[in-house]
């Protein structure tokens, strides 16, 4: 009799062979249940894809829950997925490894969020003479999903591409995109209503992931610049001290996927609070465990901003 381990191995081999034979006939492979295979580079893209594709696709996220996506490295298997998927969703200049996998290996369709949503150029920080914040002046801000309307625009592009790949369900995809837009419009209205008339509008965060909240009047000052693991210089910290004192800032925000060390040190020195704002670059494991999603985490962030800024 076979030992359990050997038995599993034998089964895996025969399944793999069956899969090859099946695919060679042009039928859907056993592995993907006949569903479209969509690869999303990070969480907000995954969220939009799942809303649009519904039951017609399996959506795989290259950035696992709890992982910080900026410095993502791809495994051999993930590069193969990028190459073989029916559709790949990514954002150029956000994750170098994904850009490379798409450029080197991808023949099929992809949607580049940077191409479809209209990214904003980063404003130079007031009084900043040189580049101390880790970003190049005039660089585009990749964190577009903080603007729900831009995420809806991305959803429309996904629906259009899925409709081309799978015309039988094109009407479903565009109906789902319309539903997603309705939800995102409601969220956008909540942000605009809640954040109008705050006592303070300057908000200090760990890394510059919240610039798109500028549309609601929120002025973001970041400790670390565009990338979450950049170290602030003494000059950056001195400038922040001044801003915090002058504007009567009550809270320094750290974030879910990186160490709160610098934010906590800064808040402690100045005798103010820290709170955790979620940049939603990935779904935190806590949010995932609580059944949270893009909409619920955005609403949590809004409640925290309201409290910190006296709205
Ligand atoms: Zn970021």
Span from the CA of 56 to the centroid of ligand 1 (angstroms):
30
Residue 105: predicted pLDDT: 93
Tokens 């993502």 correspond to what residue? 72
Q: Are 223 and 156 within one domain?
A: no
Q: Are 222 and 302 within one domain?
A: yes
Q: Are 303 and 204 within one domain?
A: yes
Q: Are 290 and 154 within one domain?
A: no
- Assigned domain for 13 exists: no
Reported confidence tier of residue 23, pLDDT bands at 50, 70, 90: very low
Q: Are 155 and 265 within one domain?
A: no
Residue 307: predicted pLDDT: 95
- Assigned domain for 140 exists: yes
Span from the CA of 70 to the centroid of ligand 1 (angstroms):
6
Span from the CA of 240 to the centroid of ligand 1 (angstroms):
19
- Assigned domain for 9 exists: no
**Residue 252 · residue 204 · CB < 8 Å:** yes
> Taking all residues of the chain, what is their mean pLDDT, rounded to a whole number?
85
Q: Are 52 and 160 within one domain?
A: yes
The Cα 87–Cα 69 span in angstroms is 20
Q: Are 72 and 138 within one domain?
A: yes
The pocket of ion ligand 1, defined by CB under 5 A, consists of: 209
Q: Which of 186, 220, 242 is the last residue of a domain?
A: 186
Reported confidence tier of residue 212, pLDDT bands at 50, 70, 90: very high
- Assigned domain for 1 exists: no
Q: Are 158 and 231 within one domain?
A: no
Q: Are 171 and 259 within one domain?
A: no
Residue 11: predicted pLDDT: 38
Q: Is the pLDDT of residue 92 over 90?
A: yes
Helix 234-247 to helix 261-270 angle, to the nearest 10 degrees? 50
Span from the CA of 209 to the centroid of ligand 1 (angstroms):
5
Q: Which of 186, 215, 232 is the last residue of a domain?
A: 186
Find, among 135, 83, 144, the residue nearest to 114 by Cα: 144
Helix 148-165 to helix 43-53 angle, to the nearest 10 degrees? 50
The Cα 248–Cα 257 span in angstroms is 27
Q: Which of 186, 221, 254 is the last residue of a domain?
A: 186
Residue 235: predicted pLDDT: 84
- Assigned domain for 191 exists: no
Residue 135: predicted pLDDT: 43
Reported confidence tier of residue 165, pLDDT bands at 50, 70, 90: very high
Q: Are 37 and 159 within one domain?
A: yes
3-class DSSP assignment, residue 305: helix
Span from the CA of 164 to the centroid of ligand 1 (angstroms):
31
- Assigned domain for 14 exists: no
Q: Are 129 and 207 within one domain?
A: no
- Assigned domain for 180 exists: yes
Q: Which of 3-17, 110-124, 149-163, 193-207 has the lowest mean pLDDT?
A: 3-17
Q: Are 80 and 217 within one domain?
A: no
The tally of domains found in the chain comes to 2
**Residue 257 · residue 247 · CB < 8 Å:** no
Span from the CA of 163 to the centroid of ligand 1 (angstroms):
31
- Assigned domain for 119 exists: yes
Q: Domain containing 202: what range?
A: 197-309
Q: What is the mean pLDDT of residues 179-204?
A: 96
For the domain that residue 273 is a member of, what is the CATH number? 3.40.50.1980
Residue 13: predicted pLDDT: 39
């Amino acid at each position: 009799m076979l030992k359990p381990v050997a038995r599993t191995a034998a089964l895996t081999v025969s399944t793999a062979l069956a899969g090859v034979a099946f695919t060679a006939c042009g039928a859907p492979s056993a592995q993907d249940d006949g569903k479209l295979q969509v690869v999303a580079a990070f969480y907000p893209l995954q969220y939009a894809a799942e809303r649009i594709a519904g039951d017609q696709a399996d959506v795989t996220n290259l950035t696992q829950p709890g992982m910080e996506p900026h410095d993502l490295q791809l495994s051999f298997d993930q590069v193969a997925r990028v190459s073989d998927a029916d559709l790949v969703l990514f954002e150029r200049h956000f994750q170098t490894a994904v850009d490379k996998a798409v450029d080197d290996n991808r023949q099929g369709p992809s949607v580049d969020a940077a191409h479809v949503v209209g990214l904003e150029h980063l404003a130079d920080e007031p009084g900043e003479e040189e580049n101390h914040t880790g970003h190049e002046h005039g660089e585009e801000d990749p964190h577009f999903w903080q603007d729900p309307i831009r995420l809806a625009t991305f959803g429309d592009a996904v629906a259009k591409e899925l409709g081309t790949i799978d015309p039988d369900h094109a009407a479903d995809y565009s109906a789902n995109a319309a539903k997603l837009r309705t939800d995102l419009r409601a969220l956008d209205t909540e942000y605009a209503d809640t954040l109008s008339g705050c006592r303070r509008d300057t908000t200090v965060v760990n890394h510059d992931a919240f610039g798109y909240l500028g549309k609601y009047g929120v002025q973001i000052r970041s400790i670390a610049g565009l990338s979450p693991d950049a170290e602030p210089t003494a000059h950056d910290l001195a400038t922040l001290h001044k801003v915090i004192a002058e504007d009567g800032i009550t809270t320094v925000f750290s974030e879910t996927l990186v160490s709160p060390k610098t934010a906590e040190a800064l808040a402690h020195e100045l005798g103010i609070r820290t709170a955790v704002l979620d940049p939603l670059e990935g779904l935190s494991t806590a949010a995932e465990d609580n059944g949270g999603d893009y909409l619920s985490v955005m609403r949590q962030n809004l409640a925290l901003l309201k409290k910190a800024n006296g709205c």
